[in-house]
Amino acid sequence: MSISEVYSKKLNTPLGVFSQAIKVTDPKELLFVSGLTSRAPSGEVVGVGDVKVQTETILENMKSILEEAGGSLADIVKLTVFIRDMEQFDDIHEVRKRYFSAPLPASSMFEVSRLVDKELLIEIEAIAAIGQSGR
């Protein structure tokens, strides 16, 4: 299995920490990670009022799920991000830079009016191609 970034010079360079597209050839396994929010094991919201802490908590929790499935954050090929305030785009991507390297996953980000708890600022779901060689 291999993964590579697909980049068209006919389009603009992505403005954040993501690729235009990701190509996965013959994935061994696909893992679909449900939307995660910033919660402690007890269920309490972590990082109330701080989108950076919430993003970091989600990515750490996502890392745990991927490891349980035999993968890592490097196996993520697609992220979907739901945020309460698009003005926090730069803060979110500042955190993402610490967790992802090239080839960066494809990504979509949507501003929503509300998440499952009023204290939540962000939710992230993912698709991972587990078992990639050389990554």
pLDDT digits (tens, 9 = 90+) for 79-113: 999 999 999 999 999 999 999 999 999 999 999 99
Domain boundary assignment for the chain: 2-130
- CATH for 2-130 is 3.30.1330.40
Give the pLDDT band (50/70/90) at residue 17. Answer: confident
Q: Which residue from 112, 22, 129, 20 is spatially nearest to 71, judged by alpha carbons?
A: 129
pLDDT band at 132 (very low <50, low <70, confident <90, very high): low
Estimate the crossing angle of helix 51-68 against helix 89-99, to 10 degrees: 30
3-state helix, strand, coil in the chain (%, to 5): 25, 35, 40
pTM of the model: 0.89
Predicted pLDDT of residue 134: 45
